[in-house]
Structure 1
Amino acid sequence: MPDVKFCQSCGMPLEDPDDHGTDAYGGRDDDYCGHCMRGGKFIEPDITMEKMIDKVVGYMEKSADIPKGQARPMLAVFMPTLKRWRK
């Protein structure tokens, strides 16, 4: 089974080619999903990691079968490891 890549902004699994964002030339961006990157630019260039966590928590609790209250602590550890948020 191949390793699953994750969006380096929101952490979404990039399992399908259609999940990927696009680079400045319209080609597939291997690091970011289509919700975060389009045409080589971030869709929300000024979003903070904390605001991104808020968005992703809502999705995870509604759609990913993560029990309420467990997503935020998981993301607080995972998100800082992603390329966009590394310091």
Structure 2
Amino acid sequence: MQGPGIPDFDDPAPIAPPTKLADAASTLIGWMKWGGLIGAVGALVAAGIMMAVGRRNRNNMAVEGAMALPWVVGGLALILGATSIVGWLI
């Protein structure tokens, strides 16, 4: 339902680009996902180190390391579920 004076446009389904462009896009997205996963592993290791080092006499560092864990897990969820989220929104 469109209001007066608003043109009625259809919503076409996404169409894959030509083969070479689709391959390049898939490669780029794969690299970004790989980089994100490597970054997340590094962040988990860094949070663990902060928690281990901050165990004695540096409890603020341990707290900061523990507070980083939900952010890292949230980032991982976004990285791994990005295509599903975009597909759901479309």
Q: Same fold (TM over 0.5)?
A: no
Normalised to the residue count of structure 2, the TM-score between the two structures is 0.27
Where relative contact order (Cα < 8 A, 6+ residues apart) is larger, the structure is 1
Between Structure 1 and Structure 2, the one with more strand by share is 1
Question: What TM-score, normalized by structure 1, do the two folds share?
Answer: 0.27
Query: Greater CA radius of gyration, 1 or 2?
Result: 2
Higher helix share: 2
